[in-house]
Amino acid sequence: MFAKVSDYFPGLMRALRLNRIVVVAVAVCLALVAGCTREAETPATHVVILGLDAGTWDLLDPYIERGLLPNLAKLRANGTSGPLQSMKQSSSPVVWTSIATGKKPEKHGITSFVRFPTGDTGKPGPVTSTMRQGKAFWNIVGPRGYDVAIVGWFVTWPVEDVNGRMISDRAHWGEIDEKGVFPPAYLNDVAVPTFDEARAAMRAFMDFDYDPDLVDKDSTDPAERINYLVFDRFVRAWIRDTYYLRAAERILEDGALPRVLALYLRGTDDVQHGFWKFMEPEPFGDVTPEQAARFGKVIERYWQWADQAVGRVLAYYDNTPRLVIVASDHGAGPAVGVWKINVPEYLHLSGSHREKGIFIAEGPGIRRGERIDDAEIYDITPTLLQYLGMPVGADMDGKILGEIFTGALAKRPIETVATHDEASDLATGYVASAADEKALEHLKSLGYIDEDAR
């Protein structure tokens, strides 16, 4: 009988076995690293763009540090983030159109909230998508094979014939017809939340017994004035945002995920305009301790609601490689000093805009845990097109934020075209809507247009 080699060299055999284990372990680790690297370098198959109005790191940083915004915190930790420079005229329809087109207002044609911003004769009306010059990102990526879902984005009424679905920014007013929703009749069964729903939800945001029968902006009664504040700055905001969140979730549940989803939530701006002085009463001097206790957490809790909305949307993409872009049109702060807004007292404008909003990009091919300081509102669309491997319009005013890319994306050549626009993309002019009066009244209540505008 032959002796085994291990009988003569037991130490050597143990070493060889150990070496084999180490080799296998190293091979597994290298495979995992290679897999992770490939995942990081390969662009996502889907894109989620989340527009959160009036976001400011001055508030969000402390909220994140306290653990109040876990979803935004995760995106920031796993991606690249920083301030987003806006324009001095931070009118939301102007800025959100600049974000969507990569162009300045003089190019895209949306220059105000209404169609007569410079005192021209005629009755003012809210700006419409038919006044926009040129293509938005959804018009560019759609024909290139990316079906889109655009939900609540500013200046999308009347809706466009897109490759996918579009829920206009007036659908929550009841404009759920062929001009308010595309395809026509889509989401007709998604109801606008009721005032009773908003009143029930209110308990999570403030300690206040809201009475809709006491809503009177012209009253001198403090109780009626405070009820109007709650109605105008919270109830309407929550109803609007909840409707578009539900519409987005319905779309995400309806078959295959859209290749590009864009969801805009505006309520963060509304509550900051209305409730800032209760959160930070010192500069104002007219806030009682009882009011601060009742309303001082409204802004914080609304941002928590918005963070939960982010989490609800992204949960649909748990098993799908996706790029996430979070952007705001401008920042915010207390309306004091040079930032004070001279409007009637009943408007309760204790919060005002700042030029720096927020920007986050997270997903495959995006640097992790990095900061960017030179991002501007015009950069979103050029950067999106570069990420997707599509040509960037040379007539766009924004730049590609190439420093946020890693791996193969960082090395991808930049392709340009003179313009994506065609003769058919020229504005066709203002279109009246049944919801014009509601929209104008709301713009007046927000202080965005003069009270005497008729």
The CATH architecture of the domain made up of 46-445 is 3-Layer(aba) Sandwich (3.40)
Q: How confident is the model at residue 341, as a pLDDT?
A: 80
Concatenated DSSP letters for 182-230?
ESTTTTTTSPPPPHHHHHHHGGGT------GGG--TT---HHHHHHHHH
In whole angstroms, give the CA distance from residue 106 to residue 103: 8
Quote the DSSP letter at residue 79: S
What residues form DSSP beta bridges with 322?
46
> How many Cβ atoms are within 10 Å of 347's Cβ, its own excluded?
20
Hey, what are 345's tokens?
């007292």
CA of residue 303 relative to chain centroid, distance: 12
In whole angstroms, give the CA distance from residue 120 to residue 130: 19
CA of residue 342 relative to chain centroid, distance: 28
Place of tokens 């049109």: 329
Sign of dihedral through CA atoms 58, 60, 65, 68? positive
Angle (CA) 145-150-141 rounded to 5° is 25
Helices (H) and strands (E) in the chain, counts: 16, 14
Report the chain (454 residues): mean pLDDT per 10 consecutive residues. 43 47 44 43 89 98 98 98 92 95 95 65 80 95 97 96 96 85 90 95 96 84 88 96 98 96 97 96 92 97 98 97 98 93 75 96 98 98 98 98 96 97 77 74 66 51
Whether the upstream peptide bond of residue 212 has omega within 30° of 0, thus cis, is no
Q: How confident is the model at residue 143, as a pLDDT?
A: 97
In whole angstroms, give the CA distance from residue 433 to residue 179: 9
In whole angstroms, give the CA distance from residue 52 to residue 303: 9
Q: How confident is the model at residue 223, as a pLDDT?
A: 83
State the helix-helix crossing angle for 57-65 and 298-314, rounded to 10 degrees. 80
Place of tokens 């009118």: 91
Q: How confident is the model at residue 450, as a pLDDT?
A: 60
Query: Dihedral, CA atoms, 194, 197, 202, 207, nearest 10 degrees?
Result: 110
Instruction: Please list the helix, strand and coil fractions of the chain in percent, rounded to the nearest 5, in that order.
Output: 45, 15, 40
Domain boundaries, the chain: 1-37, 46-445
Q: How far is CA 299 from CA 69, 201, 296, in A?
A: 13, 14, 8
In whole angstroms, give the CA distance from residue 410 to residue 40: 11
